C-alpha cells in the first residue's frame, strides 16, 4: 500500500497541484487550514509525512506541526515557507517540530526528494517502534529471545523508576555514557544525574505532562558522559502505573541523536546566513534610492522605526514586525522610476511633475510583485498613499480595502515627512505632524493607528533618534 501523505495549505489551487503531482506515488489527503489538518490527523491518520505551509490564517504551520508532534509523534513533519520567514523557520527547527524546511516556491523535484526522504525517515521510526514492541513481547515469552533482540536494537532499552534510577537491559549503556552498567544497577548512579542542569526543568515538565495525560512521551535532552563529552539523547518512554495509580516503572528507549543535532545546528547557521543576506539585499535596495534622492536620506529608516513601534503596540507578532521592517525599508523604492531632477527640485512641483511622483507607489509594486514574500509586502507598499475616505492614490481604495500595514505606514510616513526638511520647504516640526494626523483621524487615517502613534510620542517618549 502506498504511504499516506497529508498536505495542509490555505490555497486550494496549491493543494490541487500537490494532488495532481503525487497521486500516483502516494495516498494524498489535503486540508485547507490548520484546524482541518488536525481533524485529518485524528480521523484518517497515521500519515507517513505531513507537509504544511507556514503562513495560514488562524493556526499557523508552527502551531499545527507542534500539535501534530503530540498527536502523532511518528509522522514526519515538513514545512514550506517564504524567504522572509527565516526566523520563524529557525524557531521551528529549534523546537524540533520539523524534519525538513523548504522555501517557496518549491520546485517539484525538490519537494519530491523531500517526500522520499520523509517516507524513509518514517519507515525507520516505525521500524524502531515495531522492533521495540516485538522486544517487549518477546520479554514476556522468552527472556533469552528478548536478550537477543535488545542486543540488536540500535539504542539503549531500559526500565526506569520515579527517583530517576534505571536498570539498563544490556551493556550498551557503557558504550553510550562511559559508565558501567553495574553503577546504575547498584543505584550509585542515577540516569538523571547525567542530565545537564540546563535541561532538567524541561525534562521534568515533559514527564509530568505525560504522567497527567497517561500517554507515551518523547523528550530530548543532553547528558554528560564520563569522558567529558556531551551527548544529545532522545528518550521514548511509557509510564506504567500500579493498581493504586502510582508509578510502578517506566519502560523506554534511549537514542543517541547527537549527529542529528549537529546537522540541525548547521542548518540553523545556514538559515541565519540566508536571513542576513536577505536583510543586506533590502538595505542595498533602500540605499540605492537614497543615493538618488539625498533629501530623503534616512527617511525610510525613520519611517520603519515608527511603523514597527506602532505595530508592536498593536500586538504584531515577530513575523509581522519583520514584514513591517521590509515594508518600511522599501516603501519608496518606486521613486527609482521618478526623474531625479523632480525628486530634488527646490520649490513646489507642478501638476505634471506631481503626477510622475505619484507613480512611485505602482512602480514599487511592479518592482516587488514577483518576489515570493510571505505576506502582502508589495501590496502594502503600493497602498501606502491610499486614504480611508478613498481620496488617496493610486487606486482610490477606502476603509477596509486598505491593508493594515499600509494604514500604519501611511501615518508613519506623514509624521516623518512633515517633521523633516524637504527641497520645497523646511521641516514643519513634530507638533504640526501630530496635529495633522489627529485632525484627520477617521477621515484620511486609521483612528487606532493615529491614537497609538500619538501615545508613542507624547506618553512614551518615542523619537526618531532611537
Domains of the chain, residue spans: 4-127, 154-256, 267-458
Helix (H) or strand (E) holding 50: strand 49-53
Backbone angles phi, psi at 232, to 5 degrees: -90, 130
Give the per-residue pLDDT at 367: 80
Superfamily holding 267-458: Hypothetical protein af1432 (1.10.3210.10)
DSSP labels for 64-109?
Answer: HHHHHHHH-TTSEEEEEE-GGGHHHHHHHHHTT--SEEEESSPPHH
Report the candidate in 432, 433, 380, 436 with the shortest Cα–Cα distance to residue 409.
380
pLDDT tens track, the chain, 466 positions? 788 999 999 999 999 999 999 988 899 999 999 999 999 999 998 899 999 988 888 888 888 888 888 888 889 999 887 654 566 666 666 555 678 888 777 888 888 888 888 888 888 777 767 776 666 665 555 555 555 555 656 688 889 999 999 998 778 899 899 999 999 999 999 999 999 999 999 999 989 888 887 788 889 999 999 999 999 999 989 888 877 778 889 988 898 888 888 888 887 787 777 677 666 767 766 666 666 666 666 788 889 899 999 999 999 988 889 889 888 888 888 877 777 666 666 667 667 777 777 788 888 888 888 776 767 888 999 899 999 999 998 999 999 999 999 999 999 999 988 887 665 566 678 898 899 899 999 999 999 999 999 999 999 988 887 6
Give the per-residue pLDDT at 299: 83
Give the per-residue pLDDT at 355: 72
Give the per-residue pLDDT at 143: 53
Give the per-residue pLDDT at 278: 67
Which residues, including other chains, have CB under 8 Å from residue 286's CB and lie 6 or more apart? Answer: 300, 301, 329, 330, 333
Question: Whole-angstrom distance between the N-terminal and C-terminal Cα of the chain?
Answer: 61
Give the per-residue pLDDT at 84: 46
The Cα–Cα gap between 109 and 248 comes to: 50
Give the per-residue pLDDT at 16: 92
Give the per-residue pLDDT at 178: 93
Fold adopted by 154-256: Beta-Lactamase (3.30.450)
**Whether the Cβ atoms of residue 151 and residue 170 lie closer than 8 Å to each other:** yes
**What pTM value is reported for the model?**
0.51
Q: Give 4-127's CATH code, choosing from 3.40.250.10, 3.10.20.600, 3.40.50.2300, 1.20.200.10.
A: 3.40.50.2300
Amino acid at each position: 500500500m502506498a504511504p499516506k501523505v497529508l498536505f495542509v495549505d490555505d490555497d486550494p489551487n496549491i493543494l490541487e497541484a500537490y494532488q495532481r503531482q503525487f497521486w500516483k506515488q502516494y495516498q494524498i489527503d489535503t486540508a485547507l487550514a490548520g484546524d482541518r489538518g488536525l481533524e485529518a490527523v485524528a480521523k484518517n491518520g497515521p500519515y507517513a509525512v505531513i507537509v504544511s505551509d507556514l503562513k495560514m490564517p488562524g493556526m499557523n504551520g508552527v502551531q499545527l506541526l507542534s500539535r501534530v508532534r503530540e498527536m502523532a509523534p511518528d509522522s514526519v513533519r515538513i514545512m514550506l515557507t517564504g524567504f522572509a520567514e527565516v526566523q520563524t523557520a529557525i524557531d521551528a527547527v529549534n523546537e524540533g517540530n520539523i524534519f525538513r524546511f523548504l522555501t517557496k516556491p518549491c520546485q517539484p523535484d525538490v519537494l519530491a526528494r523531500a517526500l522520499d526522504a520523509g517516507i524513509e525517515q518514517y519507515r525507520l521510526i516505525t521500524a524502531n517502534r515495531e522492533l521495540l514492541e516485538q522486544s517487549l513481547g518477546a520479554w514476556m515469552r522468552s527472556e533469552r529471545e528478548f536478550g537477543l533482540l535488545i542486543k540488536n536494537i540500535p539504542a539503549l532499552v531500559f526500565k526506569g523508576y520515579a527517583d530517576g534510577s534505571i536498570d539498563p537491559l544490556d551493556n550498551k549503556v557503557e558504550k553510550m555514557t562511559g559508565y558501567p552498567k553495574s553503577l546504575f544497577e547498584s543505584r550509585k548512579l542515577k540516569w538523571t544525574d547525567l542530565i545537564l542542569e540546563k535541561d532538567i526543568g524541561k525534562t521534568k515538565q515533559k514527564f509530568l505532562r505525560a504522567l497527567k495525560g497517561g500517554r507515551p512521551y518523547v523528550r530530548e535532552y543532553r547528558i554528560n558522559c564520563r569522558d567529558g563529552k556531551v551527548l544529545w539523547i532522545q528518550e521514548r518512554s511509557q509510564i506504567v502505573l500500579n493498581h493504586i495509580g502510582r508509578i510502578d516503572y517506566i519502560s523506554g528507549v534511549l537514542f543517541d541523536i547527537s549527529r542529528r543535532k549537529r546537522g540541525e545546528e548547521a542548518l540553523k547557521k545556514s538559515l541565519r546566513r540566508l536571513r542576513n543576506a536577505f536583510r543586506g539585499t533590502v538595505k542595498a535596495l533602500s540605499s540605492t534610492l537614497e543615493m538618488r534622492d539625498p533629501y530623503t536620506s534616512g527617511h525610510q529608516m525613520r519611517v520603519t522605526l515608527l511603523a514597527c513601534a506602532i505595530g508592536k503596540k498593536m500586538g504584531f507578532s515577530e513575523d509581522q514586525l519583520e514584514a513591517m521592517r521590509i515594508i518600511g525599508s522599501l516603501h519608496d523604492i518606486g521613486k527609482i522610476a521618478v526623474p531625479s531632477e523632480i525628486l530634488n527640485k527646490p520649490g513646489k512641483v507642478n501638476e505634471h511633475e506631481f503626477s510622475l511622483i505619484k507613480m512611485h507607489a505602482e512602480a514599487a509594486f511592479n518592482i516587488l510583485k514577483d518576489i515570493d514574500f510571505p505576506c502582502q509586502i508589495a501590496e502594502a507598499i503600493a497602498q501606502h498613499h491610499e486614504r480611508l475616505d478613498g481620496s488617496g492614490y493610486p487606486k482610490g481604495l477606502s476603509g477596509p480595502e486598505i491593508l493594515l500595514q499600509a494604514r500604519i505606514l501611511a501615518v508613519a510616513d506623514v509624521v516623518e515627512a512633515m517633521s523633516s526638511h524637504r527641497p520645497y520647504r523646511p521641516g514643519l516640526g513634530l507638533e504640526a505632524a501630530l496635529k495633522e494626523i489627529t485632525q484627520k483621524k477617521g477621515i484620511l487615517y486609521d483612528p487606532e493607528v493615529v491614537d497609538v502613534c500619538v501615545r508613542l510620542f507624547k506618553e512614551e517618549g518615542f523619537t526618531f533618534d532611537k
